[in-house]
């Protein structure tokens, strides 16, 4: 079998699984959403990088020495129906690399990935990937039981906070924060995130 080093070697309309994904040696970063290849936007710009770093510093300090752990991209998250038990790589058709994610079940962690849904995912939007995050990933995270999902808008300096409703299993907009507000995660109410620090240049 030929070594896959270029996206052009793959069928962009084909269906692939995590076992396929692990064999690729691409320069580009890609994700799989329901078996379909999603090429990620070019390397994040400086604004995106600063916000991700500021969030990482804040959350990293909070989760230090706690059961729940913070992970930052690049880090594979394998998603599948939460009603299924642990699946083989050939049976997993969605793998994403959230900007930040928090995982509270250590049994989901392998040497190279999270096997199942994180408890909290944060995506920092870029001009090139907003549609993907807003639609495809929103639906994917909802379907796979990610309890809390934050969308961070760098240029608007706002955060949308979605929480999975137990009854409907659908996301509800829990809060919208902006500017110098204090954002408080639903899952970790004692964690206070000063958005002035997050969006600081």
pLDDT digits (tens, 9 = 90+) for 53-74: 999 999 999 999 999 999 999 9
* CA angle centred on 116, ends 176 and 88, rounded to 5°: 155
**Spatial contact of 99 and 73, defined as CB atoms under 8 Å apart:** yes
Query: How far is it, in rounded angstroms, from Cα 17 to Cα 160?
Result: 31
Average pLDDT taken over every residue of the chain: 91
Domains observed in the chain: 7-39 (no CATH), 46-198 (3.90.1570.10)
pLDDT bucket at 87, cuts 50 / 70 / 90: low
Question: Which is nearest to 186 in space by CA: 144, 138, 157, 147?
Answer: 147
The mean pLDDT of 84-89, rounded to a whole number, is 65
Q: What is the pLDDT of residue 135?
A: 86
Q: Is the model's pLDDT at 2 over the cut of 80?
A: no
Cut 0.85: pTM above it: yes
Q: Name the residue with higher pLDDT: 72 or 201.
A: 72
């Amino acid at each position: 079998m030929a070594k896959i080093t270029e996206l052009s070697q793959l069928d962009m309309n084909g269906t692939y699984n995590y076992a396929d994904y692990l064999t690729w040696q691409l320069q580009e970063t890609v994700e799989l959403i329901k078996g379909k290849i999603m090429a990620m936007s070019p390397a994040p710009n400086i604004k995106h990088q600063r916000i991700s770093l500021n969030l990482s510093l804040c959350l990293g300090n909070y989760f230090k020495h706690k059961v729940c752990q913070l992970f930052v991209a690049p880090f594979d998250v394998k998603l599948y129906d939460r009603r299924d038990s642990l699946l083989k790589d050939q049976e997993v058709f969605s793998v994403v690399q959230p900007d930040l994610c928090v995982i509270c079940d250590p049994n989901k962690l392998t040497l190279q990935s999270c096997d199942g849904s994180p408890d909290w995912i944060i995506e920092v939007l870029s001009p090139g990937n907003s549609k993907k995050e807003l639609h495809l990933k929103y639906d994917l995270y909802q379907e796979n039981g990610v309890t809390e999902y934050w969308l961070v808008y760098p240029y608007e300096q706002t955060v949308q906070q979605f929480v999975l409703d137990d009854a409907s299993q659908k996301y509800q907009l829990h809060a919208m924060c902006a500017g110098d507000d204090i954002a408080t995660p639903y899952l970790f109410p004692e964690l206070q995130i000063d958005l002035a620090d997050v969006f600081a240049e």
